[in-house]
């Protein structure tokens, strides 16, 4: 059976992520991506007009997979609880996921390091959308009386996602290795959650 267009595009993106994650944006050539993905350069350019478009698409694919795979690990027993408990579980799964999929984390970090204005803008817009979505969820729970926060939901959402990025960088630097720094993402998250949430039922 011949490969579908969507399957071929996904194969290109997966291989691009590996190369961008290993060599960075500036150290990766389109010809290398074509070779690794087992497509001709002509085919590669049919899908993506250039390296910038390929990188933005690969970064978005990595981000979507990270979100999808971490949310899928939320235990069923958390359904019906407040959004804080769910996000807490998601972020714990996130820290474990990036430790096992460092290539995905590297390309997300690389998007921030690249000086190209379009790439940085795409990364910024993705971050702001994520903050907005999380703020809405938190604010709805606060207004419904399901939980109390020590700060405005918008501020807490910004802090959450900033912490998620910091954890990714710490893992990429191997600071979660006892021989290096002994950083424990799970413990850090527990401290953060305790600090941000008021004792709603005190």
198 pLDDT band (50/70/90 cuts)? low
pLDDT at 142: 84
pLDDT at 140: 86
81 pLDDT band (50/70/90 cuts)? low
**In which residue are the tokens 């997300």 written?**
108
77 pLDDT band (50/70/90 cuts)? low
Tokens of 135: 């703020």
| Residue 131 to residues 147, 159, 186, Cα–Cα distance (Å) | 19, 9, 21
Tokens of 105: 């984390």
pLDDT at 201: 41
pLDDT tens-place string over residues 149-174: 888 889 888 888 888 778 777 777 77
Q: What is the average pLDDT score of the chain?
A: 81
pLDDT at 202: 39
Cα–Cα dist 173/150, whole Å: 31
Q: Is 99's pLDDT higher than 50? A: yes
Cβ partners under 8 Å of residue 166, min gap 6: none
CATH assignment of 5-196, among 3.40.50.150, 1.10.357.10, 1.10.1060.10, 1.20.120.430: 1.10.357.10
Cα–Cα dist 188/18, whole Å: 29
Cα angle 138, 144, 148; round to 5 = 55
Helices 83-100 and 185-196 cross at an angle (nearest 10°) of 160
The residues spanned by each domain of the chain are: 5-196
pLDDT at 49: 94
**In which residue are the tokens 């460092």 written?**
102
pLDDT at 13: 94
Tokens of 181: 């720094």
pLDDT at 161: 82
Tokens of 171: 């893992």
Tell me the pTM.
Answer: 0.75
pLDDT tens-place string over residues 100-148: 777 777 777 777 777 788 988 888 888 888 888 888 888 888 888 877 8
Cα–Cα dist 77/73, whole Å: 11
3-state secondary structure 173-190: CCCCCCCCCCCCHHHHHH
* Contact indicator for 156, 149 with CB cutoff of 8 Å: yes
Torsions phi, psi for 197 (to 5 deg): -105, 130
What stretches of the chain show up as alpha helix (H) in DSSP?
5-23, 30-37, 41-47, 51-71, 83-100, 102-113, 117-143, 153-172, 185-196
Average pLDDT score over residue span 22-44: 94
């Amino acid at each position: 059976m011949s490969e579908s267009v969507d399957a071929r595009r996904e194969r290109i993106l997966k291989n691009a992520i590996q190369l961008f994650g290993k060599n960075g944006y500036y150290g990766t050539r389109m010809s290398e991506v074509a070779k690794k993905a087992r497509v001709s350069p002509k085919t590669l350019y049919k899908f993506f007009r250039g390296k910038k478009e390929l990188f933005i698409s690969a970064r978005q694919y990595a981000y979507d997979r990270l979100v999808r795979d971490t949310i899928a690990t939320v235990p069923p027993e958390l359904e019906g609880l407040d959004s804080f408990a769910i996000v807490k579980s998601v972020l714990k799964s996130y820290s474990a996921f990036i430790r096992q999929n460092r290539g995905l984390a590297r390309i997300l970090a690389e998007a921030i390091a690249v000086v190209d204005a379009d790439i940085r803008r795409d990364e910024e817009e993705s971050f702001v959308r994520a903050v907005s979505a999380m703020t809405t969820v938190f604010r709805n729970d606060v207004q419904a009386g399901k939980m109390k926060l020590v700060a405005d939901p918008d501020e807490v959402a910004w802090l959450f996602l900033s912490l998620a990025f910091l954890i990714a960088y710490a893992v990429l630097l191997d600071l979660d290795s006892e021989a290096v720094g002994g950083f424990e993402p799970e413990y850090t998250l527990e401290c953060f959650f305790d600090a941000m949430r008021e004792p709603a039922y005190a």
